[in-house]
Structure 1
Amino acid sequence: MYRFSCLPLLTLAAPLPALAQQAPPPPAAAAADNPDIVVLGQPLPVPPGVPAYGSVTISRERLTGDASGRVEDVLLDVAGFQQFRRADSRSANPSAQGVTLRALGGNASSRALVLLDGVPLADPFFGYIPFNAISADRLGGVRVTRGGGAGAFGAGAVAGTIELASATRRDLPLVAGEAFYGSDNAQEVSASISPDVGGGFVSFSGKFERGDGFYTTPASQFTAATVRARYRDWSGGMRAVVPIDAETEIQARGLLYRDNRTLRFAGADSSSEANDASVRLIHRGPWAIDALAYVQTRNFTNRVISATTAKLTLDQRNTPATGIGGKIELRPPVGPDHVLRVGVDARLGNGTLYEDAYTASGLVTTRRTAGGATSTLGAFVEDDWTLGRLVLTAGVRGDRWTITDGFFREANAAGAITSSTRYADRDGFEGTGRAGALFHASDAIALRAAAYTGFRLPTLNELYRPFVVFPITTQANAALGLERLRGIESGVDLKPLDHVTLSVTGFYNRLENAIANVTLSSTLRQRQNVDAIVAKGIELTGHATHGPFSFDGSYAFSDSKVEASGPQAKLNGLIPSQSPRHTGSATLAWASPSGFGASATVRYVGDQYEDDQQTDVIPAVTTVDGVITVPVGHRVAIVGRAENLFDATVITRNVTIQSGGTNPIDLGTPRRLWIGVRLR
């Protein structure tokens, strides 16, 4: 995807201020109460070996300056990032918002580990990322590390790690807000208030958005039931940072979130909700400590409407899920040349699906219940050793995992049990690790290389929940095994001029036992483990500034193939579904000292296949976005935004029913224009 914008966007192998722990000036209240206390509201410093893994950071300015206003779209600045489909969180089914990197294939569950202030964000049942609950103005920055990894919560990071950091005291004005009105009667309102409290600070924020939506169905496929993809969601957050002493602070965060969407047909409604809370202790003394605990309660509902009868066929009426976890990380004082990390972490998730099947006459025929629990308990050790211009890094972790309490039960309309299966509990141990080297050959050249392994448990959704997206039914599979990754990469980071940086990375990743939606017939698929998905390719990233102008670009070429044998042999050598070979993004931006600004973003996504058998092609698409900012006062600006300015046709789904039949097609975001006011 090629993309252009007017603000500094990507930084190569260099952490953001919010992620790098550069200390900001102390808040006025903190300085007045005790000049020795500096409240950062940040995690521990980034170890020096992190750039060996080719990490990329995105600034707060970029996060809050995108035409769509959505975090998942800004992440497209890192070529190779993708969700299961090309739709964002306004028009995609929430359960399809899985995240992956490096064209490792998609089946709607996340293969990348996504963290917010160290807390895993993936839904405990489905594994999707609730992007509508993540507001850009609450963030201080993002670091994306492609490739498997160790460290805290390393289980699940088979495609990479995306670390979101909350905005700090330095980022937050006392009062901020913005309001936008856009195409299809869309409205967005967000606001925050962030006062100093004692020696710390607290920030309260809220966001509401709604829209009548666009037609995700081509006009040629309209039926009497076809409607726009309307959406309505809101979220409220609180973050507090409380100092204990000059080196220690407590960081607490809470989130409430509700989302409702309608997709394709009248009555095809989905909803999701979240109630999350976490508390974190950061100690920056000689024995540095990062201790974290969190709890998540989530729910999801989904109604499936028949395309032929326009009647309700399936009501997934309730999917409650709970996630709890935590970690303790210690950094012992082992000398100025070493940063040693030692810790343990745990994640537990459980959930249950309740759904009812209906006849065309509106009568319940079957009531189904399914669910289970998963857990990981891990310990990790990682050390970064600085030897002059050379930084060596290596880490190992071991995880005890369990899949327990799995069941599937069906009853008839009267409640009599017609089928009941309880699956055997499973458990095991996985050892993983990573190692890398970063050599600063000069001030202008850095060479790096890394190797890593990782694993991912199947989600409860993959194990136990079947689903229907007309005309395809996808079956669950309680016998799914773990995914295991092995990968190597090397690269070079260049700074040929003071304001120019370039990065090139070559990689080879092998994901064994990859979970894929395998075709059984023209209208039936099942989640199965294939032998492997092998992805190799090249990633390019660049940044340049000249006076008020800046340019950021990112391109990824990924040659991804399936290795399969036995009953799946027909898939051998094919490209995994939802895996484009070419993606790119570029942003050109201009920002004046007086506050005027403009940006243009171009994205490109190459051809990719809808299915595992390469039957249905989702064609390539190029889109252009733009943003203009005009200050009208010291702290107020008028902002104009344009998404998909030239109204390119974005196809997100293309399915062949049968010879001579109509291919159901879903569409992504068309041209959308916004006007709004921003207060800082």
Structure 2
Amino acid sequence: MPRSIPRAALLLGFSALPGAALAASAAEDAGPPEIVVTGRGLDAGPATPAYGTTEIGAERLNQAASGRIEDALSAIAGFQQFRRSDSRSSNPSAQGVTLRALGGNATSRTLVLLDGVPMADPFFGYIPLSAISPERLAGVRVTRGGGSGAFGAGAVAGTIEFASASASQLGRFGGSALIDDRGDSELSGTFAPRLGSGFAVLSGRWDRGPGFWTTPVEQRAAASVRARYESWSAGLRAVAPITPDIELQARVLAFRDNRTLRFAGADTGTAGEDASLRLVGRGRWQFDVLGYVQRRDFSNVVVSAVTFRPTLNQRATPSTGAGGKLELRPPVGGGHLLRLGGDWRVATGETLETGLTPTLTYRRAGGTNGDLGVFAEDDWTLGPVVLTAGARADRWSIRSGHASVARPDGTFTSNLVFADRSGWLGSVRGGAVAQVAPGVKLRAAGYTGLRQPTLNELYRSFVVAGVTTNRNPLLKAERLAGAEAGLDLTPLPGISLSVTAFSNRVRDAIANVTSATDPNQRTRANIAAIQARGLEFAAHLERGPLALDGSLALTDAAMRTPGQALNGKRPAQTPKVAAALTAAYRPAAGWTTAITLRHVGAQFEDDLQTDLLPAATTLDAFAQVPIAGSVSLVLRGENLTDTRIITRNSGGTVDLGAPRTVWLGLRVGIR
């Protein structure tokens, strides 16, 4: 483990100090106070709607036809991964998450949090989606656009905040077992006992199967295989009261994920363990103190599409992450909600690879990235108007960068050490939301943000389908400047409509830029900017047992690189149109049927727009029917129209997404 990890332990120990002081104050109160344990962080501020947030509850998360969290999130138009493939059939290192068509490479431009903890892989920046199980969650809040609060250095395209479910939300026991028409299986369960005034949640999930063909029939060779997969995750979460208004939350998570991609022997695997402690105070002086540690690993065997033999064994990519935050909300009064605090993150990682052609070589590359930020934000309620403004300053550092190639006898063919760098960057945001009439709200916001390059972008080169993407140890941080305005309408109970117009510009955006002289050579580089402008629409209608939810994103995104071939072109993997519509019918308690129609517009694999990924429209379905007591029958259907979904296109060699798939199983819930 790196020397930075003990600092996280100091942070965890320090987190008890505010609790001790406030416990003494609480003891002076007369009478036996009521103890309410929630397991959540502090409530969102009154100005949160100024930034155009969208929330998805647990019920909708658990209606995803594939049972995967990325499927559930795709109900929000504008959400996208680097590629269209899901967490059964993609390379995990390509599971970058972004919003508002600000993609361009496989690193997440969106900050993803689980109970306040950043989930991005410390080395690559991808999100371990298979480790985030919908059945464990109370809901998710998605904020499209930049932010400057806790862990804000990374929220360039927005923030996705997952919240774990409490014992009261889960019930004493819940579980499900399903199998699909290919023989894939899914098994999950939660056990949530009450422990005095607190609770614990023990959860697990296991997915496995032969998978589907990602290679089209006409491109299959003798070495082609289905996208076989097996993954499991297990978590333990405990919440206990310290005083009537202070609670301690502890969480550990372990996961493993193994997949085979396209060819026999092209095996990839991820593994991780996370642990965090959080102290939340909801008294007069509110506070949220959090510390976490992470260990991650990644392995990958690259098989040639020509010889069908392994060309590279990325045998391990060990990385560690650690960090924490302190947020304080002093009782300033006067309609103000003031947030003060700081956060710290460090990521250390290294890739260990064996090159198998043309000669045997051993490669190492990695380093350490750090960020220390301080922030302040104030929400001011003035009758029907809420104003908000915030600022943060980040001390960033890039240290210990190195990359080497050695022969089997230990002699180096290259041994590079890169200079350390550090500096300060600032970001701000502000906005307003006004209730201008009954059922009518106006909102507007402006913001800046930043994202450091990942260790992967800085130090690791790689080859996919004969195209080499080269590292760049001189990459600068991405800088966002954006603004948006929106209208929210609730003309009648159960009906809500919203529209948001936005303009986001990422300066020094990191992209994989194709060489002007060799189309098989790309280099990670800071391009002048990515500009994204667009409209986002959302609608909700609920009438008795019927509910409709719709989302539409229309985005014009372009790279701004004057004098270069890619100037004016769309960033890789970004569609102009994305839409989703879900209709759910709940005729009685425990009964649910839902169908979801999704459309993703055409996009391009590469920066020069030579490899097209055609538009795709899919239809999914979900049904849950009680059959006896706490047992229900569950039926799920993915891509029922069997649409051909092209997820990767490299010079006409393509990968496909999930075909028509039907799942059948049982779900049990004991309150």
TM over 0.5: yes
Q: How many residues align?
A: 636
2:316/2:351 contact within 8 Å kept = yes
Q: Which residue of 1 aligns with 2:14?
A: none
1-structure distance, mates of 2:116, 2:125 = 17
How far 1:336 moved relative to its partner?
Answer: 5.0
Post-superposition, which runs of at least 4 consecutive aligned residues in structure 1 deviate over 3 A? none
2:641 maps to 1:649: no
Q: How far apart are 1:525 and its partner, in Å?
A: 1.0
Q: For the Cα contact (< 8 Å) 2:548–2:581, is it kept in 1?
A: yes
- State the identity %: 54
* Paired amino acid for 2:406: A
The reply on whether 1:422 has 2:427 as its aligned counterpart is no
Which residue in the other structure is 2:143 paired with?
145
Query: For 1:137, what is the secondary structure of its paired residue?
Result: helix
Map Cα deviations across residues 239-262 of structure 1 (whole Å, 9 max, x no partner).
000101100000000001000000
Distance in 2 (CA, whole Å) between partners of 1:141 and 1:596 is 20
Q: Which residue of 2 aligns with 1:353?
A: 351
Q: 2:494 aligns with which of 488, 492, 499?
A: 499
Equivalent in 448, 451, 455 of residue 456 of structure 1: 451
CA shift at 1:63, angstroms?
Answer: 0.7
Q: 1:406 aligns with which of 401, 412, 433?
A: 401
The one-letter amino acid of 2:321's match is G
- Residues in 1 aligned to 2:463 and 2:305: alpha-carbon distance in whole angstroms: 12
Deviation at residue 596 of structure 1 after TM alignment: 2.1
> 1:605-642: per-residue Cα shift (whole Å, max 9, x none)?
00001110111110000000001111112211001000
Is it true that 1:541 corresponds to 2:530 in the alignment?
Answer: no
- Matched to 2:286, the amino acid is A
Question: Cα offset for 1:466?
Answer: 1.1
1:406-455: CA deviation from partner (whole Å, max 9, x where unpaired): 00011012221111010000101011010000000122100000000000
Match of 1:512 in 2: 507
**C-alpha separation in 1, matches of 2:161 and 2:371:** 20
Q: Does 1:664 align with 2:662?
A: no
Distance apart, 1:595 and its partner CA: 2.2
Matched with 2:572 is 577
- Whether 2:367 is the aligned partner of 1:372: answer yes
Aligned ranges 1:108-507 → 2 under 5 Å: 108-335=106-333, 337-359=335-357, 365-507=360-502
Q: CA deviation at 1:35?
A: 6.9
Q: 1:675 maps to what in 2? A: 664
Indicate the residue corresponding to 2:3 in structure 1: none
Deviation at 1:302, TM superposition (A): 0.4
CA distance in 1, matches of 2:408, 2:520: 26
Rounded to whole Å, the distance in 1 between the matches of 2:288 and 2:123 is 27
1: distance between equivalents of 2:43 and 2:356?
55
Residues 451-486 of structure 1, C-alpha deviations (whole Å, 9 max, x = no match): 000000000010111112112121111111110000
CA contact (8 A) 1:53 1:449 kept: yes
**What is the CA distance between 1:117 and its match in structure 2?**
0.7
The equivalent position to 1:562 in structure 2, one of 559, 564, 577, is: 559
Give, in whole Å, the separation in 2 of the partners of 1:522 and 1:344.
45
Deviation at 1:221?
A: 0.6
Q: Are 2:524 and 1:527 aligned?
A: yes
* SS across alignment from 1:649: coil
Equivalent AA in structure 2 for residue 318 of structure 1? A
Matched to 1:549, the amino acid is L
What is aligned with 1:586? 581
Unaligned stretches of 5+ in structure 1? 1-33, 657-662
The SS at the match of 2:218 is helix
1:103 maps to amino acid: A
Does the CA contact (< 8 Å) of 1:72 and 1:88 recur in 2? Answer: yes
Equivalent residues of 1:209, 1:234 under 8 A apart: yes
Does structure 1 conserve the Cα–Cα contact (< 8 Å) formed by 2:167 and 2:193?
no
Deviations 1:533-557 (A, max 9, x none): 0000000000001110000000000
Kindly report the root-mean-square deviation, in angstroms, between the aligned alpha carbons of the 2 structures: 1.0
Shift of 1:183: 2.7
What is the deviation of 1:570?
Answer: 1.1
Q: Distance in 1 between matches of 2:497 and 2:296?
A: 41
What residue in structure 1 maps to residue 43 of structure 2? 45
Deviation at 1:184, TM superposition (A): 2.0
Question: Aligned partner of 2:543: which letter?
Answer: H
Aligned 8 A contact 2:508 2:528 in 1: yes
Cα separation, 2, equivalents of 1:336 and 1:626: 50
CA distance in 1, matches of 2:339, 2:439: 29
Q: What displacement does 1:499 show?
A: 1.2
Aligned letter for 2:613?
I
- Deviations along 1:155-187, one digit per CA (max 9) or x if unpaired, are 010000000001023212111100000132101
Shift of 1:532: 0.3
C-alpha offsets along residues 109-148 of structure 1, whole Å, 9 cap, x if unaligned?
0000000111000000000000000111111000000000
Amino acid at match of 1:200: G
1:329-383, Cα deviation, whole Å (9 max, x unpaired): 00000105111000010000000010011137xxx52111000000100000000
Please give the alpha-carbon distance, in whole angstroms, between the structure 2 residues aligned to 1:336 and 1:679.
49
TM-score between both structures, scaled by the size of structure 2? 0.94
Q: What's 1:26 paired with?
A: none
SS at match of 1:570: coil
2:18 aligns to what? none
Letter in structure 1 aligned against 2:508:
N
Distance 1:224 1:476 in 2: 33
How far does the alpha carbon of each residue in 1:295-338 deviate from its partner, in whole angstroms, 9 at most, with x for none?
Answer: 00000000000111111100000100000000000000010511
Matches within 5 A, 1:79-90: 79-90=77-88
Residue by residue, what CA displacement relative to the aligned partner does 1:58-115 show, whole Å, maximum 9, x if unpaired? 0010111111111111111111000000001000000000000000122000000000
SS in 2 for 1:513: strand
Structure-2 separation of matches of 1:593 and 1:386: 41
- SS of 1:104 mapped into structure 2: coil
Contact kept? 2:178, 2:665, Cα under 8 Å: yes
- 5+ residue gaps, structure 2, are 1-31
One-letter amino acid of the counterpart of residue 561, structure 2: A
Partners of 2:304 and 2:619 lie apart in 1 by 35
Q: Within 1, Cα distance between the matches of 2:388 and 2:562?
A: 37
Instruction: Give the C-alpha shift of residue 42 in structure 1.
Output: 1.2
CA contact (8 A) 1:100 1:106 kept: no
Q: Counterpart of 2:152 in 1: which secondary structure?
A: coil
2:74 aligned counterpart, secondary structure: helix
Correspondence for 1:553 among 546, 550, 555 = 550
1:35-59, CA deviations, whole angstroms, 9 ceiling, x for partnerless residues? Answer: 7211111111110000000000000
